[in-house]
Every structure is written in structure tokens, then in C-alpha cells.
Structure 1
Amino acid sequence: MSRPVPRTVAVAAALALLTGLATPAHADTTSQRQRDFAAAADEFGVPQNVLLGVSYLESRWDFNGGTPSTSAGYGPMHLTDVRAAGVATSHHDEGTEDPRGDDARPALHPQAGPVAPPSGLQTVDEAAQLAGTDAATLRTDAKQNIRGGAALLAKYHRDLGAQDWYGAVARYSGSAGTAAAQSFADEVFDTLRTGVARTTDDGQQVSLSPAADLPVPAHAGNPADVECPRTVACESVPAPYQELPGNDYGNHDLADRPDSQKIDHIVIHDTEGYWDNVLKMAQDPTYVSWHYTIRSADGLIAQHVPAKDVAWHAGNWYVNAKSIGIEHEGFAAKGTWYTEAMYRSSAKLVGYLSRKYGIPLDRAHIIGHDNVPGTTPATIPGMHWDPGPYWDWSHYFDLLGAPLGGFGLPGSSLVTIDPDFAKNQPAFTGCDGPGTACVPRGSEAVILHSEPSESAPLLVDIGLHPKGTASTMAVDDVGSRVATGQRYAVAGVSGDWTAIWYLGQKGWFHNPRAARVAKPAIGWVVTPKPGIASVPVFGRAYPEPAAYPAAVPVQAITPLPYTLLAGQKYSSGGTVGSEYYYATTFDVADHVVVKGKLKYVQIQFGHRIAFVKADDVRILPAF
């Protein structure tokens, strides 16, 4: 986790960093990366703090095991090489999930076709030439990677002939547009002003001292037709609301949120494709839709659908009608990592939206696509699981100003999952093909067992595995996995193991005192009312039949294939009203928001959220 450097750091140290002359005081193995930055800065004539700031906005100084980022970048300096990173899959084309998720309309299974990587993501070749080495070395050797990045920055500075380094930093972003390049440079210079220090994913201690009074040019701002904070670069790339042959239409629904329906969730996705291709999909009227896409290299945000309208992104119509969907350029499993530039832009956007629409900043309301429930038993196996186990929820919520974990008293009956991201490295398989071992790397996921033992089988998710077989360590199998920030009721403790209630059963995870992966929490839990042996669990909070007007087909309230038994407890995400947005025609005059008297409680039931009828449960405080 990053921490600010105290403002009292000596002025001399800050000046030394500005001139690129400072070196760490202790030559130990954990400060080697700091020395590598100092040496590269000196060799190529780049201010050391500028080099550190650019690298932090790209990778937070991590090496990421030599694996590529979501935009084909390698190493601390994010040198890009699409030849090595390979071709991506395409968005929403895998699995059986219907992105719209509405039984009243035929399921959508669009195909976008093959996705090729953009030709512009190839800085490693020029860096190798400037640094006197080869591309493979720059991808796999952190020290040489830093040299390559420094060489590029120095060349950009020479090419511009500028007095300061702002323009060179902006160019390093790789952005074709001025606004995005400036936004990236602004983030770098903000980091230079505040300073930062952290331990990298491979145990290196790196720090950047604060430097005040750094110049930042004035900018024109974002277009008037985008809903974005002023501190990030945004553009409008509208998704088409268009009538199609056969009484069909696409690729979203017009609405009047939040006046017509409250927006309760923000859903975090990854694109499973590269920026240029994904934006073409968003503009295809026969494809599906989401509200925003965020670019990996520089954090540029494109808005496609106004927040008032309903996009087709989450595979659950109730969630779609009550959420905003944000896609992040990247991949859930292909050994990739998300850049700091994208994390920061995303956090600023989510913070802005949460304030505008009153969405709580917690993991019950800021959810991944992998946390969206199936609508019926038949849809559960096909639900998507992005942004995947390598999305750093803890760091993301730090950027949101809403840090996770650590707010309860010892012995609390409720815990927040919060492992050390870098050190927590589950042995997943399938990142580069079925059954193949994934490259060990930091993860937000904690694995559950049926007994307090590493050798015990994983839990059974009867929805994902209808034949009753145990879950697996396949990277796409979320049936026995909890995620950072999620809250669960404690079901037992045995030595260094903690059990939680999960899909109607006890799930055990290793939680030793010296390396806790779950922290005590404060909140509310739900449990069946006295006399009720089993409570049905639902994937959507639909109204009772009597609430529907004559012209609107009644939607079935279908329970999921799980049981919430007497004595079990689950974390509450709050009480919600029952709603159904009837929108199956191009003409919005036929659209109706149905609101019922039935109340539901959102719960953290397994890896995904779920809903139970409020009349079936008690809501109790957990301390």
C-alpha cells in the first residue's frame, strides 16, 4: 500500500532529486531498484524524480514478474511490445452470458470478430536501440527496463527542445490526443509534489521525495457533453440508440435515472480487448453497451452512454437497470496487470459518480462483473468473471479515499477480506490455456476450503457446478473464492483458520495471526427469522405479480439453487425496493418502471451478491 512521504523531508533532498543526483544512503538488496533509477537518470540526463514519477504512474515501480500489462507494457517503465504480449480475445464474446439479462427479450450473443493489437503499442524497439540492448532484455530485466525508459524520456526531451520535462512526460504516455497526454503528465507531476514511498511486488524499497512549486500548464478541459470529473481527460464516443430490422433495436435503453430509478451500483469490467477495437464495438448498434471505457496507457476515459440511460453490460437486467458499467482496457487472466494511470482515472471517475448519484463507496455497491449474480439457475454457469483476481481492490479503494478493512474490534462476528495483495499469490491455472499454471503474482482473491486444511477440497458451488463437483483453481472458477473488500459473517475459528458462511456452507481460509487476510468489521448481518428453516435466495429483486400493470408481462421471481438455512448469517448490503424496468421496444413511450411493495435485502452470499426477501430475515448488528 502506498503512503505519502512526510512534508518535512529536507529541502536539500528534494533539490537533489530534481537534479537527478540523489542516491540511496544504504546499499542493500532491497534498495537496488532505487539505485537503478538513480544510475539510469544520471546516465541519460533525466531528473531522477521525473523518472521515478513516470514509472510510478505506469507500474508503481513493480516488475510484475515480467508479464505484460493490459496494454502490452513490460517492467517498471511499461515499455510496450505487442509482439510478445500477443493477440487478445474480444469483449463479451466468450461464455453464454446474455449481457442484457432480461427474460422479456431474446438473449443477445453478439460476436465482434478477431481482435488485433494496435500497432502503436511498440516502444520497446526504440528503447532497446537507445539503450544499446535488445527487446527481450528490456522485457525481462528490471534494471535494463529502467535504462530503456530513461533513454526514451531523454530523447523525447531532446526532440521537444523544451526547458522543462512536462512535454516529455506527456509524450511518454503514448497518447495521440493532447488532453490525455496532459492528464497523464498532470498525474505524474502531482505525484512529484506529494511524494510517495512503497515496497514493490518483488520486495524493493523505493521512495520519491516531495518537490513543491512544479509548473503545470493550463488546460482547456473536457467537452461539455461528457459526465466526468475535471481532473481527468474524457471524450465522447457515443453508443448508437438505433432501430434495427425485425422490430429490433440497440444497443442500450433510454431512461431517466435517477428520477425513474435509483442508481445503486457501479460495475467494474475489463474489456478483454484493446482500446481501438473496443471503441469500435461500443459504436456498433448490433453489439452491446456500457457507459465508459478507460484506456490503460494514459487513463483516458471515453463515455458511450449517458448515466441516465441503461446499458447492456452486466448480464443481469435488474443490475443493469440500477448500475453504471465501466470497462477497463485489459484482460482478466492473460498474465496481465493494470496500470496506475488507469487505476487513478477510474478511481476519480467512480468517486465523481458516487457523489453525484449517492452510491456508497463499499464493495457491496462498487462491484466487479464477477460479483453480479446469475438471474436464474440456468444463467449462473455462463456469468462473466472480470475484472479477475488480479484487480487490486485494496489499492483502488485507497485511491477512492475509502480504505478497506480494519474498522472492527477483535473477535467481531463480521470480517472484511483484505489480504496483502503482493504477497497473496494463489496457484491459479488456465491464464494461458486450460490447465496451465498461471505466473505467480499478487491477487485480491482468497481461496476457501471445505475444512480447515490446505489439503481439504474446495467448496461446491451447485450453481456453477450443477453436478455437485468441487470448485477448482481455474482462474475463471469463482465458486470457492472470496475477494478483497467483501464482508462475510464468521462461522467458526480453528487455530489459524477462519470459517465464513458462503453459499449455504462453511468456507475455511487460512488466516494466521502474523499474516491476516481478513480484518474485523462493523456492519449488519441477515439471518432467517425464527421458525423459518430455509430462505430462498434470488439473483434479482423483482416486484410481486400484483404490482405489474396489465400491459407489462409479469416477471418470474425465480430462486437460485442455493439454501440459506436457519442459524446462518450473511453480510447485508442494505434493503432495496423491488423494481422491474420494462423496455423491450425502440419507442420509449412503451417503457415502464414497475415498482412493487415487496422489499429485499442485498447480501454477500458467495463470491457474488444476491437478494433475499426482507420478510424472510432479521437484520442484526455485527460487532
Structure 2
Amino acid sequence: MKTIKTPAAGLLSATLASLLASTALAAPPQAAPAAAEDAALNQRLQQEEARLRPQRAAFAGHFRQAYARYPAIPAGTLEAIAYVQSRWMHLSPEPASEGGSHQHMPRAYGVMGLYHGEGFADQVGEGARLLGVPAARVIADPRTNILAAAALLDREIRASSPLARPANDDIAAALAAYAGFSSGDAPVARSAVMDFAHTSFAYDVLLAQDRGVNDRGIVVPERAVRWEHAFTPAQLIQQKAPFVRLDVEADRVITDQYAIDPVSETLMRTAPAGGDKVQANADVGIMSTDYGPAIWNPAHSSNYTASRSASVSAVTIHTAQGSYSGTISWFKNSSANVSAHYVIRSSDGQVTQMVRNHHTAWHVRSHNSYTLGIEHEGYVNNSSWYTSAMYNSSAALVRSFCSKYSAISCASAYSGPASSGINVLPTSVKIKGHQHYSGQTHTDPGINWNWGSYYNLLNPGSGGTTKVLDSFESSVGHFNTSPAYSGSTTGISSASLAERNCSIRHNGSCSLRVLLKDNTSSSSSWAVRLLSGSGSPSNNTSLSRSNGRVGFWVYSAGSGMSVAVGIDDSDGTERSTSRSLAANTWTWVEWDLTNSGHWNAWVGGNGAITAGSVTLDAIWLYRAQTSYDVNVYIDNVTVKN
């Protein structure tokens, strides 16, 4: 491990930090300057954030009013639904504001993403009826939109729960019934409501609360979820629910059928019943036969062709213009007349396959016969949907295509600038967006898809010898959970937070601020496992062990801090040796993936990095117990080979 320190910085302030950032410093080799299109994308994202922050700040007051009016709704639930449905953006699905004519599923309206018929439930109309207001007001006014959603959810809670003030994980069935995927006036039968799409919606709402969100003006309060209380074991396996709040060193959950995987920290079946597929819902298998990590959940047979007229030779990247669960539900609707082979969730990169690879999905008109289609949850005009977890998961899926189909080369993927219109590319470009094919009207994945970064994920090593995993210029990146989220963390309170900060930074415009607050009910020293990708290897970028080093810039605004990293290896998780930090100065810390002297065995590990490809599990922060708050800033998490 190598350490490089800058001169002491004195008092921590925005002005002085700005001076520090501009000072010439001894530093490790840096990545090549960002391409012009990457700089343009970052600028667009910053402009988007500036535009949306005032709107998002206003939503908080509307949520408070809704909770006062409907006290049975657990605090944080409405914020989480808004996050799942719209990423806190008031949806007005006209062509000009929603990325052209890309709309092939029922439209959602407002910050709560309420449906208005078109094959799904008329949540707008029913919410308006419950409030006694015109439907147009529910569509146009954010406050009324939130109140309408609250009225609908309150009705489902009262119908399904005997509790006057239920907890968040008491209302999974109510959330599933609320989802709005049914059509017609008849209520969804309670026995059928927890199908896969409805379960996915309820799960995603609870996941947003379990993790908490504090990014770009979106704030979903963190509230722990009792997953085993909300869902069945089979549903938890399907959804890959996180049991990260357990201490993986000390806690064990093992029965005759289930255990916690110590690396992914999700529930797994140890004794499959009736073969190698676990059935949580009647038609949903836990594994796809085409792509092992995917869930198999078939689209309705009227929405695809059960054959191919040409061999597979290209991949089409889509943005769904809707939620993960809504997209899955729509592809299972017999009247949809549309489908894709795969759907990917934004929050954690979960993959659901809905059409077999050797069948023809209906997703790109005259090019259906030879293409594989991937729908990515979200909307083209809101970059908050395009998470590191989704990019990593999508790239892993496409890399599997490149290894399976000789006509598809990952090196032939598009890597140019994103655009918001139709931009037809030659047929030699085998991996490209819907907007890049001839004869199309849809403009996805649109202006916010980072093609350069995606190309590098498809072609590991193509980005040069240095790869920045997280720069924090436009989001918190892989570090999307709080410092206290992991059960392996000790000494700090749940009031601790991790958020993007654009006042203190080493490179670029922003860094990750980690605020550590003492847990006054404990005298334990601080050992903080700040998770990357929520601690799941599938949510993280693959790192090559060969001549590899992982490091980052770190600034401690208090004395006594030290840092380390955790790496998910093939046999478990290894934890690096720790390094003490000087206070009030930027320090570069780095560990050699090939040097066993830099690593200690942690959970299931052997004290050395042995796999050819690994992932970053966490950054560890240590300090003796103190009653003072401590701020730590992290910038440019990097791997070099």
C-alpha cells in the first residue's frame, strides 16, 4: 500500500478546500482526461440537478400534509413510492417532455407515477374520486397527486391490515394491491395480488426505505425492514433481498432449507425442493436457462413470436419509460403487443428474462428478427435512473451475449456521445440503442445514457490503465447506502450519512461526504463498513487482479481516523490492512491486489486475493469512540492495472 500526503490544510472550509483542490500535488498516475462527451454529460446532469432540486424540496411539505391526513401510512412510504415510480420528478408524459414518442406502456402521471388506464388501473380517476377533485388536478398539481396516492394507499392498508398504525414492513400486501397493474373496475383478488410484478413493486418500495436515499435532493428516510416479516423465503430469494444488516462475521441464519450467502448477503436455498428452480409465484423460476443470474418470468404469448427468422446478431438497449415492475406487468398483459427479452431494475440491477433468446421479442420493429432487446427501468429525461448497479448488471448480461453469439462483438458497441433524437448507426455497430436503428420513432435510451462508460464496462481494460470507479460528479455512484447500514458497522448511530458534497473535493467538482455520529448507547470503537454497491458483487464493477491496485483520495476533518477496503474474492471477502490518516489534508491511499501482505482474511477469505476478477465490497473507516461528529471526504475511487 502506498500513501501520498498533501501539505496540511488547516481549518476545513469550503474556501480553503477549493484552494487545496487547485494546488499542485504529488499524486498517483491519473486517468486520461475525460472525453468531451463525458464532460458534456456531466454538465447536463448538473443542470438537471439544479432544475429539479427546488421541485424536490417542495415535495417534502406535500408528503407531511399527506401523512397528517392519512396517519395509517407508515412514515417514509410515500417518499419511497415517489422514488420507485418517478425518482421524484413530476411526470407529464407528453412527447416534448418525455423523450419524443418513446411510450409503449401505460403512461404514469405526477411525482407518484399514477396510472390513468390504458391497460392498467385508473389510479388518477380513482384518486380524484376519493379526494373529490377533478382528475386533471391530480395529473397537474404535485400536492394533489401525492394526496391522491395517499388516499389510494390508505384504502389498501385499511383493507389488509388490522393495525391502526402499521410499520412499513406490515403493509407489503397493501403496497402490492396499490401498484395499479390491474385493469378494469374489479378489485384484484387478494389471493392473486402477490404475483411477481406486484411483489417486485412492494419490494422496491421497502428496499428504498431499508437503504434510505439521500442524493440530488431526493430524501427517503432510512428505516430498517424486517424482510422475513414482509415476504416469504421464496419471494426473498427471487428479489435478492439484502440481509446486510446482519453482522456477517458473527451472525448466522441457517435452517434445513435456507442460509445467508456470506458474500452477497442475500438469502439462498440450501436444499432446493423439486429440482433446481424455486417457485415463489406459479410461473416464475428463480433462474433463467439462457442467463443464469436472471429470473425467468415469461411475457404473455401474444406479445412475442416463439421462433426466429434470422440468427441473433445485435443487441438493442432500451429505456422503459416506466418502472421495473410496471414493465414486467405490461409485458404479461395480453393486449400489450410489445416485449423485450430482458428487463433490468435500477435500484440493484436485478435482471428478469421475459422472452427466450431464441424467440423473437417485439421491441424494435423491422429489426426484431435478429436482435436481443434489453429494457432498463426508468425515463429518458431523468438521469437518476441510470445507476451504477444497472450499468454493471446490463454490461454483464451483454458480455454473456458476446461470448455466446459469434456475430456479436463487445468491441463493436457504440461508444459515442448520447443524443436525444434518432441517430441511425451502421449495421456494423452491433450493440446500440433503440434510437440508432432505421425506421424507428422511439428515442431511447436517450440523452442521459453514458455510452463511453458502458463501452468500457463491456470491454474491461479498454479504458486504459486507470479506471475511476466513482468520481461523485453527478451522484453517489456505488455508495448508495448509509454508513450504519451494514450490520458489521459498530460504534456509530443511524444518524450518520453519506452524501455527495460539492464544496469539499480533491478532483472535479464534488466528493462523497461521510458524516459519522457516535452511537451514544454504545462504547464501541468505530468500525464503519461503507458499502459499495450495497455490498453485493453483482452491483459492483469487476476489477482485474493482474497488476491491479485499488485506491482513493480521502480527507479526514478530525484526528485519529484510519481507512481500509474490503474486496469480494472467489472464496469470500478479504479486508486490507488499515492506514492512519493525518487530519485536515487530502491523502491518497492504495492497496496492491497481488500483494498478500496488504490483505487479511475476513468472511470466508484466506488473506490473499486469488481470483482473476474481483469487486470492491466496501471502504472501511476506523476510529476510537468519540462523542464528536467527524466528517470524512472521499474522492476518485480508482483501480489501476
Q: Shared topology, TM-score over 0.5?
A: no
TM-score by length of 1: 0.40
TM-score with structure 2 length normalisation? Answer: 0.39
Q: Higher relative CO (CA 8 A, sep ≥ 6), structure 1 or 2?
A: 2
